[in-house]
Amino acid sequence: QVQLVESGGGLVQAGGSLRLSCAASGNIFSINVMGWYRQAPGKQREFVASITSGDSTDYADSVKGRFTIFRDSAKYTVYLQMNSLKPEDTAVYYCNYAIKRPFVYNVWGQGTQVTVSS
């Protein structure tokens, strides 16, 4: 069992910054992918950013150059640094932990609200 606990959401003005964190605990597999997704009211959940256990990263086009995903040295906590925030970034942000090989496993955090005012 793996559990994810998120923090760092809040209310900021357009152009401001926030840092989200996701702490993982439990039976962590050595090869995994952790990422952030977001969902605005009435919209589908969408991919934001991901990082592998080998520190390879990927970003949605909408956040490239503004957001950065990274892990701490122990690799049990992942962060999302969000700069130059826009009102369209407003959503509930969810942390994800995934294993794809040799088996498939997926865990989601509880979500944290990010609101960006005009």
pLDDT tens column, 42-78: 999 999 999 999 999 999 999 999 999 999 877 689 9
Tell me the percentage of the chain whose pLDDT exceeds 70. Answer: 99
Asked if 17 and 82 count as a contact pair (C-beta separation under 8 A), the reply is: yes
Tell me the percentage of the chain whose pLDDT exceeds 90. Answer: 86
Structure tokens at 88: 């369209």
**Residue 22 to residues 6, 10, 16, 26, 94, Cα–Cα distance (Å):** 4, 15, 21, 13, 9
pLDDT band at 101 (very low <50, low <70, confident <90, very high): confident
Distance (Å, whole) CA 51 – CA 32: 9
Structure tokens at 53: 């256990």
pLDDT of residue 30: 84
pLDDT band at 39 (very low <50, low <70, confident <90, very high): very high
Q: How many CB atoms lie within 10 A of CB 4?
A: 19
pLDDT of residue 29: 85
